[in-house]
Structures are given as structure tokens and as C-alpha cells.
Amino acid sequence: MSTIGIIGAGQAGSTLARAVITSGYDVVIANSRGPETLASLVAALGPRARAATPAEAASAADLVVLAFPYRPTDRLPTTQLAGKVVLDNNNYMPWRDGIYPEVVAGRKTVHELRQEQLPEAKVVKAFTHVQFHARSEIRVPDDELPAVVRLARPAGAPDRKALVVSSDFPEAVEAVTRLYDDLGFDAVDNSPLSESWRSGPGTPMWPHHVDGQSREELVRNLQRAERLPR
Ligand SMILES: NC(=O)c1ccc[n+]([C@@H]2O[C@H](COP(=O)([O-])OP(=O)(O)OC[C@H]3O[C@@H](n4cnc5c(N)ncnc54)[C@H](OP(=O)(O)O)[C@@H]3O)[C@@H](O)[C@H]2O)c1
């Protein structure tokens, strides 16, 4: 896999595009307003990036990132996403994304709803708890970098951090584990999607989205999570 489709070109999508291009991938990136509105971003990303419609970005890759806020009413390129590994990086915010009673009551996770919305895709929750922007308090020059870049370390480094991955499909977990490794992170498998509430906002692992956590810390924090209605 050498091309990644990214649907959503805001803070998360554009930063992830930059990070994966640095790791040697090509990127096809889309937003809601059309490829012509992405000309300056694509110019800044360089020759490994091109702008497209969401359907074209979904067609172009076996791994496609949905880097925009979740709404079950969104029109997604379901045909083009069929059979693909689809990364969902949404952190459910009712004030922004709308109220979904089964999620608010803790009966389902937003990622299970996304899987229902894309029944032929292999949805995987990934990259939800690493910041795609600068540290809010700049103490040293590196703090200007988004956490997904600032915290990256080579495999085996003693201070390597870990990110969570959750899916109902082991092959999707494997694909994201490889991608995390390429970007400089270990993976902790917190599958299936019904368990993915353990890495949501407000859980014990959550405050570490600024400075990261080791694999051991992350496993411990996922185990400590308690399910609360939200
Ligand atoms: N920012 C972070 O540090 C961070 C960290 C972890 C997770 N996340 C998650 O990442 C997602 C995106 O957050 P963000 O901060 O990047 O938001 P953002 O800066 O507001 O960007 C949203 C992007 O999504 C596009 N978009 C919206 N609806 C779309 C649709 N139906 N089809 C195609 N593109 C669409 C927008 O394009 P237009 O402008 O053309 O509408 C825009 O490029 C959220 O779910 C958030 O919870 C963000």
C-alpha cells in the first residue's frame, strides 16, 4: 500500500497528509467543497499529493481516512469505500456532531454507527487521541510541531509512544499497526469497535493526547476506563 486517501482536509487531514508523505506515501485528499479549493494545500504538500473529490480519494487507495466530524447523515462514497480499510478518527462531540441517543447512553460507540453506515467497509478507529496541532503551551521550539510529528520515534526507541487501534476486522488492525509503525508509533489493539469507548474523550488515557503514553501506560489506562453515559 503506497497511496492513502484522506477525506477531510482541515487540521487533522492536512497534518496527517504531511506526516504520511514524509513517511513515503502518496496522498489523494478531498474536502466537501471540491478539489479546486485545495490547490494551495496540495502545492504545499508537494508532488506526492493530489486533490480530488471524496469518491476519487476513496477509489484511489485501499486505506482511506475519514478526517471530518461524524454525522450519520453525511453522504459518503459507500460504493468506492466497499472492501476498503476506512479509518475513522472522530472524537464524538455532541455539541458539534449532533446527538445520537445510543452513543450518549453508552449503548454503542460512534465508530459502530460508522461501521453500520459503511457495512461493506472495514472501519477502524485510529488517530483519535493524538493532536494534529501544536502544543497549546509552547515551552521549547518542538512544541510548535503537531503531536503526531513531535512524538514520533523509531521502532525500539525507549521513549516511543503508542496509539490505540480498534476494529471488528483483524486485517484493518494490521494495516493501521503498520501505518502507526511507519509514522513512529507502537500500536495497542483495543478491538472490537464496541470497546472503543475506552479511548474516548474523558477516559484515563485521554489527557495523554498531548504528550503521549508508552504501550504499557496505554494498556493500563484502557483497562482503568469506566463506561459512563455522556
Ligand atoms: N484536530 C485534531 O487535533 C484532531 C485530533 C484527533 C481527532 N480529530 C478528529 O478529526 C476530525 C476532523 O477534525 P479537524 O480538527 O481536522 O476539523 P476541521 O479542521 O474543521 O476540518 C474538517 C475538514 O473536513 C472536511 N469535510 C467536512 N465535511 C465533509 C464531507 N461531508 N465530505 C468531505 N469532507 C468534509 C472540511 O472540508 P470543507 O471545509 O470543504 O467543508 C474540512 O476540510 C474530527 O472528527 C475530530 O474529532 C481531530
Structural domains for the chain: 69-224 (3.40.50)
What are the percentages of helix, strand and coil residues in the chain, rounded to 5? 40, 15, 45
Closest C-alpha to ligand 1, atom 2: 132
- Residue 27 is placed in which grid cell? 496522498
Closest C-alpha to ligand 1, atom 42: 10
Residues 6 or more apart whose CB falls under 8 angstroms from that of 129 comprise 91, 163, 164, 199, 205, 206, 208, 209
| Distance of CA 69 from the midpoint of ligand 1 (Å) | 5
Query: What stretches of the chain adopt beta strand conformation (E)?
Result: 3-7, 26-30, 49-51, 63-66, 85-88, 122-126, 162-167, 186-189
- State pLDDT tens for residues 186-214: 999 999 999 999 999 999 999 998 999 99
- State pLDDT tens for residues 79-137: 999 999 999 999 999 999 999 999 999 999 999 999 999 999 999 999 999 999 999 99
Q: Is 90 in the pocket of ligand 1 (CB under 6 A)?
A: yes
Does pLDDT of 230 surpass 60?
no
Higher model confidence: residue 47 or residue 73?
Answer: 47
Closest C-alpha to ligand 1, atom 20: 10
Q: Is 132 in the pocket of ligand 1 (CB under 6 A)?
A: yes
Closest C-alpha to ligand 1, atom 19: 10
What's the longest Cα–Cα distance across the chain? 47
| Separation between Cα atoms, residue 147 and residue 220, nearest integer Å | 21
| Distance of CA 156 from the midpoint of ligand 1 (Å) | 32
Task: Give the model's pLDDT for residue 148.
Answer: 96
Q: Is 74 in the pocket of ligand 1 (CB under 6 A)?
A: yes
